[in-house]
A and B are shown apart, each in its own frame.
Chain A
Amino acid sequence: MSNLDRVFESRLAARHRRGRVFASVCMASTWFAVGVLVVLLIGVVWQSAGWLNWGFLTNFDSRHPEQAGVLAGLWGSLWLVLYTTLFSVPTGIGAALYLEEYSRDTWLRRLIQVNLSNLAGVPSIVYGILGLTVFVRMFGLFGSQPKVVEVSLIFVNLQIPLPLGRTVIAAALTLSLLILPVVIVAAQEALRAVPASIRHASYALGATQWQTIRNQVLPAALPGILTGVILAISRAIGETAPLVMIGALTYVAFTPGDISSPADVFTNPHGIVEAPFDTFTALPIQIFNWVSRPKTEYQHVAAAGIVVLLAVLLVTNAAAIFLRHRFQKRIRW
């Protein structure tokens, strides 16, 4: 045994010991994150115990903590999500289609791509300021007194306030801009995963580019796109800062369009067209409001609100996972 070998042997045990310590530190760090999640969830549920009941889901906000509820916030968030989806998903998929299927590698495409990754890093509150100036106040172009423009469609008269003011539609437009980069990037990745041979086969049969996209590429990319879209939407559900900026009301005793139960959709169909132009509150806004109130009982109300919010998010995320699994099975190339 040479001298070097002996040194190596004598040090080896210590090196392995250090290695084990390092491995356990790394492992502890990872489980720390998991532990925090568990503590957070248990803590919130524990705080909400006794406060989360049927009345909480069916009452409006109240000055008495025992009677406070999330009804207005739930419906507000629902309308927000509906319109945000309506605005952001078609444009997001459209943009991804252009970037992946149509555009060549020009400076413009590279500009859009760089721009996308930078937009994803813009703080959400800045989007809030954008929404406040562009959608809520419309640069002050229409003066401070809102004017109402009547647009008559076949069945109903739409009353559109100008500037839009603190309405569902202004907030939904803002949130759409916020999640658009996320939707585009997710859709791009899904489109890129569709093999080129599918497209070639379609062209070979004489299909045009749009026919190829609509009948072959989009259906194949759909599960990926859907997953990305749902994740983006679940981000929009929990987003608070832009809504605070836009001025979502904090104390609200009505629901947009006065629709406060699924049955109202039939008894009050007019409410459906009025809802987007109504003022509103949203789940996270209500939670924020409760957290900021000094009475300690409201901490429990806030916890109950958080449990509802997390439950909504859990359902949307579960839907994403379910859809991904369901569609993935059918595709085989």
Chain B
Amino acid sequence: MSSTVEVTIPSVDRNPQLLIRRFSPTRAKEQAIRFLLFLCALLSVATTVGIIFVLVTEAVVAVGPNTAFFQEVSVKEFFTETRWTPQFSEQHFGVLPLLAGTFLIAGIAALIALPVGLASAIYLSEYASPRARNFIKPTLELLAGIPTIVYGYFALVFVTPYLLRPIFQDWLGFDVDVFNAASAGIVVGIMILPMVSSLSEDALRAVPRGLREAGYALGSTKLDVSVKVVLPAASSGIAASFLLAVSRAVGETMAVTIAAGMTPALTLNPFRSVQTMTSYIVNVSLGDTPAGSIAYQSLYAIALTLFCITLAMNVLSQFVLRRFREVYE
């Protein structure tokens, strides 16, 4: 025999009016708060819209009295011309030298941060004792929290005179400028290293234990398991972390401005001074280029290019993460 509990909602039964929403101060207040919070959430979308609006109206189609950059300079010139001389009397607007400088530095940074970051991620996820992890993780966070201006100082005052010059100039005979791409690339690499390390480690740790145990059961050594089982299984997360880190290196500003100099040069020589997209923007804003002039508008064109490149890398990294993720269990 089972006892039943009778549940009745008498008030509604007798008085269906209660189901109709009527005005009450409490409800109005709830709605107002909800709306207010919604506005807060919308602010982030407004920021994106604002960024795109500002860049596009100053660089592509003007809305105000000023002419936009690409209404004066053709897109073809911008992407094929090999000289960037907006502040000279003979103006050339070819973004290639700035792109070359940006990717030279990002490349050097990637050369350092990707292998070292991945190796340290493997160490933290597969080898390190909990004690070592508890020490190293916060240290890496500290490294990530150091302002980029400090890295710029480090490059200029330590990396070039105490690392690059003795090795490459005194010993190997290269000419190393005071401002050079290599020192900037090295410190940017150090800067993005914690990001690669911690994001890759997250990906490695997300690989289920069972996969590792299956590897051991087949007679693998720890090296085999780490490199041939765990690493491929986490490859999408690792690739995403690489993309994010490189995109951060591309957008990095202060360290590059301080250490790499201000010479827009189409060169792959890491010991020369180069200018990146970001350091050009800083350069213009520090100088006294009059607002509204074509040289000033070029700032927006460069910023738009930079924005598109980093956005593409971020979107790609999210795509890689979603599309190629191995889903376990």
Chain A residues with CB under 8 Å of chain B are 8, 15-16, 18-19, 22-23, 25-27, 29-34, 36-37, 39-40, 43-44, 47, 90-92, 94-95, 97-99, 102-103, 111-112, 114-119, 121-130, 132-134, 137, 139-140, 144, 177, 180-181, 184, 208-210, 231, 234-235, 237-241, 244-245, 247, 284, 287-288, 291-292, 299, 302-303, 306, 309-310, 313, 317
**A-B pairs with lowest CB-CB distance, top 4:** A123-B251, A238-B147, A94-B40, A26-B123
Whether B150 and A40, one on each chain, are in contact in the complex, defined by CB atoms closer than 8 angstroms, is yes
Whether A122 and B51, one on each chain, are in contact in the complex, defined by CB atoms closer than 8 angstroms, is yes
**8 Å CB interface, B128-163 against A:** 128, 136, 139-140, 142-143, 145-150, 152-154, 156-158
Among candidates B45, B136, B149, B315, residue contacting A112 with C-beta atoms closer than 8 Å: B45
Nearest A residue to B27 via CB reads A208
What are 25 A-B residue pairs whose CB atoms fall within 8 Å in the complex?
A15-B224, A26-B120, A29-B116, A30-B124, A33-B116, A33-B143, A36-B143, A37-B139, A40-B146, A91-B40, A114-B318, A121-B310, A122-B51, A123-B306, A124-B251, A125-B253, A128-B285, A129-B281, A181-B44, A210-B29, A234-B145, A240-B149, A288-B254, A291-B153, A313-B145
Whether A30 and B123, one on each chain, are in contact in the complex, defined by CB atoms closer than 8 angstroms, is yes
Size band of the interface chain B makes with A: 35 or more
Interchain CA distance A95-B41 in the complex, whole Å: 4
Give chain B nearest CB distance to A49 CB in angstroms. Answer: 14
Whether B142 and A245, one on each chain, are in contact in the complex, defined by CB atoms closer than 8 angstroms, is no
Main secondary structure of the interface of A (DSSP, over half): helix
Nearest A residue to B284 via CB reads A245
Interface string of B114-127 (1 = CB under 8 A from A): 01110110111011
Whether B310 and A123, one on each chain, are in contact in the complex, defined by CB atoms closer than 8 angstroms, is yes
Residues of A within 8 A of B40 (CB): 90-92, 94-95, 97-98
Among candidates B47, B149, B286, B315, residue contacting A177 with C-beta atoms closer than 8 Å: B47
Residues of A within 8 A of B307 (CB): 122-123, 126
Given contacts A121-B311, A180-B47, 9 further A-B contacts (CB under 8 A): A8-B219, A19-B223, A114-B318, A118-B314, A121-B313, A128-B285, A238-B145, A238-B147, A287-B153
Whether B251 and A239, one on each chain, are in contact in the complex, defined by CB atoms closer than 8 angstroms, is no
Interface string of B43-59 (1 = CB under 8 A from A): 11101101100110010
Which of B247, B248, B252, B253 gathers most chain A CB within 10 Å?
B253
Interchain CA distance A181-B64 in the complex, whole Å: 30
Whether B142 and A37, one on each chain, are in contact in the complex, defined by CB atoms closer than 8 angstroms, is yes
Main secondary structure of the interface of B (DSSP, over half): helix
Which of A29, A128, A317 gathers most chain B CB within 10 Å?
A29
Among candidates B123, B145, B147, B318, residue contacting A23 with C-beta atoms closer than 8 Å: B123
Residues of B within 8 A of A122 (CB): 51, 251, 307, 310-311
Interchain CA distance A87-B313 in the complex, whole Å: 30
Whether A291 and B258, one on each chain, are in contact in the complex, defined by CB atoms closer than 8 angstroms, is yes
Give chain A nearest CB distance to B210 CB in angstroms. Answer: 21
Which of A16, A126, A144 gathers most chain B CB within 10 Å?
A126
Whether A98 and B41, one on each chain, are in contact in the complex, defined by CB atoms closer than 8 angstroms, is yes
Give chain B nearest CB distance to A228 CB in angstroms. Answer: 13
Residues of A within 8 A of B99 (CB): none
Among candidates A115, A208, A237, A284, residue contacting B45 with C-beta atoms closer than 8 Å: A115
Give chain A nearest CB distance to B297 CB in angstroms. Answer: 12
Whether A134 and B258, one on each chain, are in contact in the complex, defined by CB atoms closer than 8 angstroms, is no
Residue B295 lies at the interface, judged by CB distance under 8 Å to chain A: no
Nearest A residue to B58 via CB reads A133
Give chain B nearest CB distance to A178 CB in angstroms. Answer: 9
Whether A299 and B157, one on each chain, are in contact in the complex, defined by CB atoms closer than 8 angstroms, is yes
Whether A124 and B253, one on each chain, are in contact in the complex, defined by CB atoms closer than 8 angstroms, is yes
Residues of A within 8 A of B194 (CB): 33
Whether B314 and A302, one on each chain, are in contact in the complex, defined by CB atoms closer than 8 angstroms, is no
Interchain CA distance A279-B5 in the complex, whole Å: 72
Interchain CA distance A204-B314 in the complex, whole Å: 43
Whether A292 and B36, one on each chain, are in contact in the complex, defined by CB atoms closer than 8 angstroms, is no
Which of B40, B117, B251 gathers most chain A CB within 10 Å?
B40
Whether A44 and B221, one on each chain, are in contact in the complex, defined by CB atoms closer than 8 angstroms, is no
Residues of A within 8 A of B310 (CB): 121-123
Nearest B residue to A94 via CB reads B40
Whether A126 and B51, one on each chain, are in contact in the complex, defined by CB atoms closer than 8 angstroms, is yes
Interface string of B34-76 (1 = CB under 8 A from A): 1011111111110110110011001000001010000000000
Whether B41 and A94, one on each chain, are in contact in the complex, defined by CB atoms closer than 8 angstroms, is yes
Interchain CA distance A119-B315 in the complex, whole Å: 11
Whether B157 and A310, one on each chain, are in contact in the complex, defined by CB atoms closer than 8 angstroms, is no
Which of B41, B127, B193, B226 gathers most chain A CB within 10 Å?
B41
Among candidates A33, A99, A126, A299, residue contacting B303 with C-beta atoms closer than 8 Å: A126
Residue B7 lies at the interface, judged by CB distance under 8 Å to chain A: no
Whether B148 and A240, one on each chain, are in contact in the complex, defined by CB atoms closer than 8 angstroms, is yes
Residue B33 lies at the interface, judged by CB distance under 8 Å to chain A: yes
Whether A23 and B44, one on each chain, are in contact in the complex, defined by CB atoms closer than 8 angstroms, is no
Residue B26 lies at the interface, judged by CB distance under 8 Å to chain A: yes
Whether B37 and A137, one on each chain, are in contact in the complex, defined by CB atoms closer than 8 angstroms, is no
Among candidates A19, A98, A132, A310, residue contacting B285 with C-beta atoms closer than 8 Å: A132
Interchain CA distance A317-B139 in the complex, whole Å: 13
Interface string of B199-216 (1 = CB under 8 A from A): 000000000000000000
